[in-house]
Chains A and B, each alone.
Chain A
């Protein structure tokens, strides 16, 4: 699974996710990537989110909509909410990660497994990439 989240100069947010699923999946099985509010979500009033991992769990817990709701309802800041949520999903066999960006501030990249291919650009366009916990 691959994904991207972005904020443009007008403050607009967007998210995209694309996947082949998992190796030897049953034909017809669909994971969280194309399910809006599970693996992919964007709302300028909260955040843009793209997820990767145990799709069935991310669907059942509407992972990306849940993150957006926690931010929109003002319960938690984006980075705190994302870290807490990915840990909660991990406790429910939801192994994987998520990337997210809000109306302001740097992107947030979190995961609860051994690694996640990931990267982001800072405001000057400097690229940062990583694979494991580094």
Chain B
């Protein structure tokens, strides 16, 4: 089989902090978080690993970084707790796995891959998904592990706005995390 040139791209979300509000320290932290994820994926691709392993490694690195809205640092629902969604898909046979509305697995993308590889389904949601993930041995962390002061503050701001009826003038970052 002919070899192709490997390639990897990532995103950390389109809800960015406006340029004029981003101080140099925060800017550097975002770039470093992105580079950490790129290194995690590229190391695998460079070693000849499948693309599926590379995208999972890169997304896990972003889920572990509280700057980004996924895994640890996920935004909070109006009920004050995180509900996380994730998906993964392989292009050779269109195998796919996804989870919706879960809280517990450190890395939701890894949960999605377990759904793909061990459940016989594509998409699993909520309590049923969590029960399956426990059955297959996934570690569960408390909701407090995922919450950050920044997301709690963004939630309180939004709930206060809704209560007051003021117009939604949030930045992308506050809305989309």
Q: B-contacting residues of A (Cβ < 8 Å)?
A: 1-31, 33-36, 39-45, 48, 50, 52-53, 95-101, 103-109, 111, 113-121, 123, 125, 127, 129, 131-132
Contacts and interface: CB of A to CB of B under 8 A. Distances in A.
Contact of B7 (A7, A15, A39, A41): A7
Contact of A127 (B2, B38, B172): B38
Contact of B77 (A16, A24, A36, A45): A24
A99 B9 contact: yes
B89 A30 contact: no
Given A34-B86, A96-B14, A26 B7 contact: no
Most chain A beta carbons < 10 A, residue from B7, B54, B84, B151 = B7
B141 to A, nearest CB: 14
Contacts of A103: 4
B114 interface: no
B74 A36 contact: no
Main secondary structure, interface of B, reads mixed
Contacts of A22: 15, 75, 175-177
A131 B19 CA distance: 8
A2 B12 contact: yes
Contacts of B15: 1, 22, 52
A71 to B, nearest CB: 12
Contacts of B158: 23-24
Contact of A15 (B13, B55, B73, B175): B55
A11 B51 CA distance: 9
Nearest to B78: A24
A28 B102 CA distance: 10
B87 to A, nearest CB: 4
Contacts of B76: 20, 23-24
B59 A16 contact: yes
Contacts of B101: 28, 30
Most chain B beta carbons < 10 A, residue from A14, A113, A120 = A14
B8 interface: yes
A53 B108 CA distance: 19
B85 interface: yes
Interface in B117-175: 122-123, 125, 146, 151, 154-155, 158-159, 162, 170, 172, 174-175
Given A18-B63, A20-B146, A107-B9, 4 more contacts: A2-B12, A23-B174, A25-B75, A44-B91
Contacts of B22: 131
A12 B86 CA distance: 21
A42 B52 CA distance: 10
